[in-house]
Amino acid sequence: MKHGYARISHRSQNILRQTEALESFGVDELFQDVQSGKDDERPAFQQLLATANPGDTIVIHSLDRLMRSMFHLWKVIEELRKKEVNLISLNEPWLDISGNNAQSNLMLNIMGSFAQFERENLKIRQREGIEIALNNPDSNYGRPKKDTAKVRHALKLYQDKTHTVKEIERITGVSKATLYRKLKEEV
């Protein structure tokens, strides 16, 4: 049996490109996740692993839809090998874990290493960007600042004891947590 697996990270992305390619390949069953590839506990993927039987084949659109790190890739491949389940990638035709394929093992190591390298570089660039944003007073990094006029209005309504906290939240748009935090700061 051929099981297709498609994954996108966010609902704003379109999974159709993957599902159409997998259906064209002739998968019997399709599993889909909307979750980061770095999460091991993707529900559809876990269901796929539980469903696949010896001799079955899992078909993916591309390797990055399956994993985000070398560690995760090898963890999945070892699990599939133990279950005697094959793996095919439509965009990486060299990927074949149906036997002891030296070329596939070499390519998996190389491609997985590049994926891990890129992920680490992304984290470095992200940290650098955050550092720059934190050191730049004109930056909009972090939570948006509450409108001080709204907060003052909420504090006044609270101190006047004319409204409940829920009413103050509705009237001013200032959350209960922010209101109580500001009250605590004033003491």
So which residues are the catalytic ones?
Answer: 9
- Report yes or no: 34 and 11 within 8 Å, Cβ to Cβ: yes
Main-chain phi, psi angles of 129, to 5 degrees: -65, -40
Cα–Cα distance measured from residue 184 to residue 187, given in angstroms and rounded to the nearest whole number? 5
Residue 171: C-alpha distances to residues 75, 155, 160, 184 (Å) = 52, 12, 14, 21
- Report yes or no: 168 and 157 within 8 Å, Cβ to Cβ: yes
